[in-house]
Amino acid sequence: MLGFCEKCHDMVEYYIKDEKKQKKIKGKTIEYIGKEAYCNECGSEIFISDIRDHNLAMLDKVYREKEGLISLEEIELILEKYDIGKRPLSLLLGWGEGTLTRYLNGDIPTKQYSDMLKKVLRDSNYMRELLERNKDSITDVAYRHVNSALQKNENLTDAATVEPEDKIDYVVQYFLLNSADITPLALQKQLYFAQGFYNAFTGEFLFHNNCEAWVHGPVYRSVYYKYKDYGYNPIEEKDYEYGDIKLTTVEKELLDSIVRNFGCYSGKVLEKMTHAEEPWRVTRKGLTDNEGSDLIIDKKLIAKYFNEIKSKYGMFNISDIRDYSTDLFNKLYN
């Protein structure tokens, strides 16, 4: 990694340290953990734009959490959940048409506006009320998209209440029991890695469910709707007994390895990992970064990629997954 050191007057290698930081926002002191870069040659602090952006993002995150405000990621989830654009959502809420755009560009909403957005995210009935009440303020195309998304969500919710437990449910339960803290985002990514590596080591798929290439990485839709209300908070549902989880010894061994080697990373880190991998990137080819999608990641593509990874890293045992997870993290963050 190279950056310009003003003291050395040259491009130099640098190292990064985590540091406690403080910033006053609207009269309130916000403490957070940021990063700083230092020259390897003279030890002087140097400016790195990516680190500045990281610190601003961390400050924003901590401030929103402290004030109970909706996060940028949760706003993006709303757009994805209801297949709606920024402008029509603003209009359905009775706001100026550029309000959502400003929020997604970093402006912080008031508590009142934030609470409205949180209600939209967790309550589909509230969204339907807004849609019917203010449908004349949006185009017919936007109305049909939202109505279709609401119908799809309702159908999936109904199906989840009557269908018998699926294999993926046992895998989810196992992850919940064996993880200290796991958010819905991290859970989705660990399911994806479990599916891929199980196929690489056994030639079979762990569960039949299809994975979709959403904005924030691979997503199993039924699992998303089951735990979506947790947002970016850890899932607290852990009222399971081991006897209820119908998995083989080999399956549990694979899942233990996934927990050890991927469960140590946050959901956002795992998201970035899956963004670097071929199955998600190939499936979303031609889409913009923030464009919603229900495109299915072909299981053959997942199998091909993870079998190639197994071969490339010379994996003979399930524990060898560690080599890949560590290498991928280092490539993304060093």
Which of 249, 247, 265 lies closest to 179 in space, CA to CA?
265
Query: Considering the entire predicted model, what is its pTM?
Result: 0.55
User: Between these two residues, 178 and 163, which has the higher pLDDT value?
Assistant: 178
What is the torsion angle, in degrees rounded to the nearest 10, for the CA atoms of residue 271, residue 15, residue 53 and residue 265? 20
* Alpha carbon separation from 95 to 119, 125, 140, 291, 315 (Å, rounded): 16, 20, 19, 22, 55
pLDDT of residue 65: 78
- Which is it for the CA torsion 178, 180, 182, 188, positive or negative? negative
Nearest to 318 by CA among 264, 272, 259, 276: 259
Closest CA to 236 of 278, 180, 313, 280: 180
Residue of 108, 43, 119, 99 lying closest to 72 (CA atoms): 108
pLDDT digits (tens, 9 = 90+) for 3-30: 999 999 999 999 998 888 988 887 888 8
Q: Left, alpha or beta for 70 (phi > 0: left; psi -120 to 50: alpha)?
A: beta
Report the alpha-carbon distance of residue 313 to residue 200 in Å, rounded: 12
- Return the number of other C-beta atoms located less than 10 Å from residue 123's C-beta: 12
- 17 three-class SS: strand
Q: Which fold has domain 2-67?
A: Ubiquitin-like (UB roll) (3.10.20)
Q: Which pLDDT score is estimated for 155?
A: 67
Domain boundaries, the chain: 2-67, 72-162, 167-333
Confidence of residue 144 (pLDDT cuts 50, 70, 90): very high
| Helix runs in 97-210, H state only | 99-104, 111-122, 124-133, 140-162, 167-178, 184-202
In angstroms, rounded to a whole number, what is the distance separating the alpha carbons of residues 228 and 120? Answer: 12
Q: How far is CA 155 from CA 4, 149, 328, in A?
A: 55, 10, 38
> What's the pLDDT tens digit per position in 179-216?
888 999 999 999 999 999 999 999 999 999 999 999 99
Asked if the model's pLDDT at residue 241 lies above 60, the reply is no
How do residues 212-231 score in pLDDT, each as one tens digit?
Answer: 999 999 999 989 988 888 88
